Structure 1
Amino acid sequence: MKVKVYFVGAGPGDPELITVKGQKLLARADLIIYAGSLVNPDLLNIARPQARCFNSAGMTLEEMLDLMAEAVDCGELVVRLHTGDPSLYGAVQEQMDGLAQRGVPFEVVPGVSSFAAAAAAVRREFTLPGVSQTLILTRHEGRTPVPPGEGLAALAGHHASLCLFLSAGSLVAAAAELAQGYGPDTPAALVYKASWPEEKVIRGTLEDIARQAAAAGINRTALLLTGKFLSAPYLRSSLYDPGFGHSFRGKKDECCNCNPD
C-alpha cells in the first residue's frame, strides 16, 4: 500500500461492517484520525499498538491537514476514519481539497452507510415496485442551512422513500414539515444507533414519532425513515418473474412450476 492519506468509511457502528480494505488499512496505519463522536472505539483495537490516534472532534480542519501532510512527508500511512461512508455528511470534500492544494496524495475507501444499516434494522427495502423507486437522503435545517428548494416540506412532495440524518434533536419540527408533503399518517421509523449493540427501533407515523422518541429519551444518533415503503403493499419484481425475460434468462412458461399430476 502506498504512503498517502486514506479516507476510510468505518461503517455504521458494528466493527464487522467496515470493509476488508478499510480493515487492512487500519491495521497498517501509522497515523489514525478518527471521528470520535460517532466511530465505534472498538475499531481502534484493529490498529497497531504504536499507531498514533487522534480524535478529530477537538481539531480544526487546518490542524488535521497539517498533521496528515506532515505524516505523509515522513513516509507514514495515514487513515482518516469517518463514520458510515465518507461521502455523506463527513465534511470530507474540504479535507480532500486541502490535501490536493498541498500536493498530498489521498484515496477514498467507501464504507457502509448508516442508512443501509437502518433499512436492515427495519427489514424493509427503500425501492419497492409500485411504491417508490427513489430514496432521498437529507437533513433538517438547523444551524447549518440547506440550499433553497431542499426544505423538508418540498422534498416530501415527491412522496419518495426518505432517510433523515442529523435531525434527532429537532424531530418535532422535522416531522411536522415532512407531514406537509407526505401526510401525518405516513409510516415512520426512528432507528437509534443502527447496527450498534444498543440499537433501538421505534415505529409510528409522522404524527406521533417525535412524541415516541421523546418518551424513549432519544435526541441524537438516530435516523428517521419515512415513506410508504415501510408498510405499503408492493408489486412483484419483474426481475424474477417467470413471465419476464431478459439477457440472462429467457421468458418461462408461467405454469412451469405446476405439478404435472
Structure 2
Amino acid sequence: MTLVSFVGAGPGDKDLITLKGYRRLSEADVVIYAGSLVNPALLDYCKDGAVKSDSASMTLEDIINQMAEAVANDQTVVRLQTGDFSIYGSIREQIEELKKRNIGYECIPGVSSFLGAASSMGVEYTVPDVAQSVIITRMAGRTPVPESESLKSLAQHQTSMVIFLSVQGVRKVVRELLAGGYTEATPAAVIYKATWPEEKMVKGTLGDIADKVKEAGIRRTALIMVGEFLGDEYNYSKLYDAQFTHMYRKGVPDDSDNQ
C-alpha cells in the first residue's frame, strides 16, 4: 500500500535533510511542501515530472484531499515540512485525518532549527554545572499558550531557553523573561534563518537584545535563545576526564594517592 511520508526538511541548508528523507523526496510522485518556510532549493532533489504543491495557500482539507487522491492513484507522496515536524509542525491534525481515511503514513525526522542555530553559533545548550535542561517554547499569539507555560512562569527555571515564533514581539518576550527571574545581564541571541545562506545572527543580553534585533531589521523567521549557556562560564564534562572511570575506560591513578 502506498504511504504518505512526512519528511523533516531540516533547518534550511539543503544538505541538512537526512539521507532517508532525501531518498523519499527524490522518489516522490507528489510533494506537498510548506513554501513559506522550506528552502526551495530542496525541491531540486525532486524527480522530473513530480507534482509540487505549496501548502501555504492550502487548507487542511485541501492537503488531505490531494494526499488521498495521490494514494488512490498509487502515487508516492511526501509532505515536506520545515525543521523537524515534531516541534510546531501541525503534524497531528494531518495524521488524524489520514487515519480517518485509512491511509498509511510514516514519519521521517529532520534537524530542527533550534539545533541548526546552536550549530551555527558553536554552542551547547547543556553545559556542565551551568544548565542541564532546555526549554523550547513560544510566546502566545493567535495560537494561545497555557498559562502554566507562560514565559514568565518558565523563566523561573533559569535554564537554557529557545523561543520560537516570537521575534516579532521580542520586547514583550524580554519583559516576561525579566519578570520571571532572568536578569538584564543574562546572555541572549537571535538567529534569523539559521543555516540558510542569508542567516543573520545578533548577540547580546536581555538588556539590549531587543534594540539590536530592531537595528538588524529582524522581524520574523528567527529564534530567540536565552541563558547562561551563551555566556563565558563553562566547565569541562566528566566524560573525558582522566580521573573519571566508566565501563569503557579505567581512571588514571592520582599521584597524590601514593604520598
Output the TM-score relative to the length of structure 2: 0.96
Alignment of 1:25-40 (within 5 A): 25-40=24-39
Q: In structure 2, what is the equivalent of residue 194 of structure 1? A: 194
Give the match for residue 84 of structure 2.
Answer: 85
CA distance in 2, matches of 1:171, 1:126: 21
Distance 1:10 1:192 in 2: 17
Report the residue type matching 2:221 in the other structure: T
CA displacement 1:91-114 (0-9 Å, x = unmatched): 111001110111000000000000
Distance 2:254 2:169 in 1: 51
Residue in 1 that maps onto 2:227: 227
1:57 alignment partner in structure 2: 56
Say if 2:166 is the partner of 1:167.
yes
- Which amino acid in structure 2 is aligned with residue 28 of structure 1? E
Q: Distance in 2 between matches of 1:233 and 1:253?
A: 29
Task: Provide the aligned C-alpha RMSD in A.
Answer: 1.0
Shift of 1:254: 4.5
Q: How does 1:1-261 map to 2 (within 5 A)?
A: 3-180=2-179, 181-254=181-254
The code of the aligned residue for 1:183 comes to T
| TM superposition shift of 1:232 | 3.9
Q: What is the DSSP-based 3-state SS (H/G/I as helix, E as strand, rest coil) of the residue aligned with 2:103? A: coil
Aligned length: 254
Deviation at 1:190, TM superposition (A): 0.5
SS in 2 for 1:8: strand
Structure 1 gaps of 5+ residues are: 256-261
| Aligned mates of 2:182, 2:250 — CA distance in 1 | 40
**Superimposed CA distance per residue, residues 80-127 of structure 1 (whole angstroms, 9 cap, x where no aligned partner):** 000000101011110011101110000000000000011112211000
Change (3 A) 1:254 1:201: farther
Q: Distance in 2 between matches of 1:109 and 1:189?
A: 30
- Structure 2: runs of 5 or more not aligned: none
Alpha-carbon contact 1:140-1:167 (below 8 Å) kept: yes
What letter corresponds to residue 177 of structure 1 in structure 2? E
State whether residues 179 and 186 of structure 1, in contact with CA within 8 Å, keep that contact through their aligned partners in structure 2: no
1:5 and 1:77 in contact (8 A); partners too: yes
Give the Cα separation in 2 of the matches to 1:85 and 1:77.
21
Secondary structure of the residue aligned to 2:202 is strand
Question: Where has structure 1 moved over 6 Å in runs of 4 or more?
Answer: none
CA distance in 1: counterparts of 2:226 and 2:53, whole angstroms: 36
Look up the equivalent residue of 1:68 and give its one-letter code: M
* 1:168 Cα deviation after fit: 1.2
Task: Compute the displacement of 1:208 (Å).
Answer: 1.2
| Residues in 2 aligned to 1:241 and 1:80: alpha-carbon distance in whole angstroms | 45
Contact 1:242–1:254 at 8 Å: present in 2 too?
no
Q: Conserved in 2, the CA contact under 8 Å of 1:131 and 1:232?
A: no
Structure 1 Cα separation of the partners of residues 81 and 247 of structure 2: 39
Counterpart contact for 1:189–1:224, Cα < 8 Å: yes
Counterpart AA for 2:246:
H
